[in-house]
């Protein structure tokens, strides 16, 4: 953007903002006959596929703090949380809509960086920005994103398919999002010197949604149920158990807690297992895998470029989610609460 650094979005005006965003876009694919600039976008559905449609927003003061995250981080994360939802359904993302509520005093350079962060992740995941909306917001910065993707019929991963005996897996590692946020809250904006804690902060700011592994799980039907961890592992365990009508026995010692998170929680006198279960802001996937499909899961693991898949428990006929550690049952913490 060729705007002087001191300009605000109110100085730019809506037309200029939209023109600046359009100038950043790659040429539209043939299946997007109408993108930004008309009353609505027009998308050619993928032949033979179902559409997966989700929306999620980040609100300043609730989901992010501009002392902890740059504008680039915020744009990135606003898309990431939606891509995570598409991945959790076994879909592949195709187009995104970006709806912005901008405080008039927001620096033009910050808006520019926010859009850059959004588009950087969009390019990594081959998602096309197809439209959106820009409005004034009296106070908080609001970033509301909609993502549409494609999934094959009978390849949709819901929360409801787990059966007793299915093994429960988690992708990647957990606890990093929460540990990263807690570090930032207590460090008054200082960046971490420790590399493992820095990794937690980075994951809090710019989570990597599991698009590839989600699409692989959908297409090879390894999983019987799937959900993302945006509201924490404890919440996801409960949701899958409830929707599937099963219980889940969780092995508290098996949780793949990020090393920096484990260390940070311990140094703060907190229990890493309970914290990682409560969590939130981990954009990993929780999945149920029937034993007879374990081979398919191995294939997914091999094709997913080294993303760990850790077995953390098992679905049971007995209802309820139970965490067992050192042979003792533990309470399951509540998930992230939006209110």
Give the DSSP letter of residue 287: E
Closer CB to its own copies, 49 or 307, in the complex:
49
Shortest separation between residue 272's beta carbon and its own copies, angstroms = 26
Shortest separation between residue 12's beta carbon and its own copies, angstroms = 8
Shortest separation between residue 271's beta carbon and its own copies, angstroms = 25
Shortest separation between residue 72's beta carbon and its own copies, angstroms = 22
Structure-token pair, residue 333: 């913490």
Reported for 295-298, long-range contacts at CB under 8 A and 24+ positions apart, including other chains, are 296/220, 296/221, 296/222, 297/169, 297/222, 297/223
How crowded is residue 150: how many other Cβ atoms within 10 Å of its Cβ?
A: 19
CB 138 within 8 A of CB 21: no
Closer CB to its own copies, 93 or 247, in the complex:
93
Closer CB to its own copies, 228 or 275, in the complex:
228
Rounded Cα gap, residues 101 and 198, in angstroms: 30
Shortest separation between residue 14's beta carbon and its own copies, angstroms = 5
- What does the binding site for its own copies look like in residue numbers (CB under 8 A)? 9-10, 12-14, 33-34, 37-45, 49-57, 59-63, 84-86, 88-89, 91, 95, 97, 99, 101-102, 104, 130-140, 142, 144, 146, 148-149, 151, 156, 158-160, 226-228, 243, 337-339
Shortest separation between residue 200's beta carbon and its own copies, angstroms = 23
Q: Give the list of residues 6+ apart from residue 177 with CB closer than 8 angstroms, or none.
A: 200, 203, 204, 207, 279, 280, 281, 282, 283
Closer CB to its own copies, 185 or 194, in the complex:
185
- The closest alpha carbon to 315, from 257, 252, 253, 244, belongs to 244
Task: Map tokens 């999945």 to a residue.
Answer: 287
Rounded Cα gap, residues 211 and 67, in angstroms: 29
Closer CB to its own copies, 129 or 200, in the complex:
129
Shortest separation between residue 80's beta carbon and its own copies, angstroms = 14
Question: CA end-to-end span of the chain, whole Å?
Answer: 37
Q: CA–CA distance from 272 to each of 217, 263, 268, 275 (Å)?
A: 29, 8, 10, 5
Bridge partner list, 286: 170, 227
Closer CB to its own copies, 155 or 263, in the complex:
155
Closer CB to its own copies, 70 or 99, in the complex:
99
Closer CB to its own copies, 104 or 331, in the complex:
104
Shortest separation between residue 286's beta carbon and its own copies, angstroms = 11
């Amino acid at each position: 953007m060729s705007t002087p650094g001191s300009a605000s979005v109110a100085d730019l005006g809506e037309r200029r903002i939209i023109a600046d965003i359009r100038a950043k876009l790659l040429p539209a694919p043939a299946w997007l006959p109408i993108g930004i600039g008309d009353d609505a976008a027009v998308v050619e559905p993928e032949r033979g596929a179902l559409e997966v449609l989700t929306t999620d927003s980040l609100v300043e003061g609730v989901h992010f703090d501009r002392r902890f995250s740059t504008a680039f981080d915020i744009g990135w994360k606003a898309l990431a949380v939606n891509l995570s939802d598409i991945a959790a359904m076994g879909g592949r993302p195709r187009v995104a809509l970006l709806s912005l509520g901008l405080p008039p005093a927001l620096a033009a350079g910050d808006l520019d960086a926010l859009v850059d962060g959004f588009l950087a992740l969009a390019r990594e995941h081959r998602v096309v920005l197809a439209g959106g909306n820009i409005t004034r917001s009296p106070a908080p910065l609001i970033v509301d994103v909609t993502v549409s993707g494609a999934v094959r019929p009978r390849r949709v991963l819901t929360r409801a398919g787990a059966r007793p005996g299915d093994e429960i897996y988690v992708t990647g590692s957990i606890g990093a999002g929460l540990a990263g946020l807690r570090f930032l809250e207590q460090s008054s904006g200082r960046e971490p010197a420790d590399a493992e804690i820095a990794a937690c902060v980075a994951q809090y700011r710019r989570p990597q949604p599991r698009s590839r592994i989600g699409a692989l799980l959908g297409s090879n039907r390894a999983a019987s149920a799937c959900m993302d961890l945006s509201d924490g592992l404890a919440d996801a365990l409960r949701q899958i158990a409830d929707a599937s009508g099963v219980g889940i026995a969780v092995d508290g010692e098996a949780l793949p807690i990020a090393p920096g998170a484990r260390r940070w929680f311990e140094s703060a006198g907190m229990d890493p297992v309970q914290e990682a279960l409560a969590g939130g802001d981990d954009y990993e996937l929780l999945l149920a895998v029937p034993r007879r499909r374990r081979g398919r899961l191995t294939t997914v693991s091999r094709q997913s470029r080294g993303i760990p898949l850790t077995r953390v428990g098992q679905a049971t006929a007995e209802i309820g989610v139970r965490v067992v550690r050192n042979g003792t049952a533990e309470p399951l913490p509540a998930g992230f609460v939006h209110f």
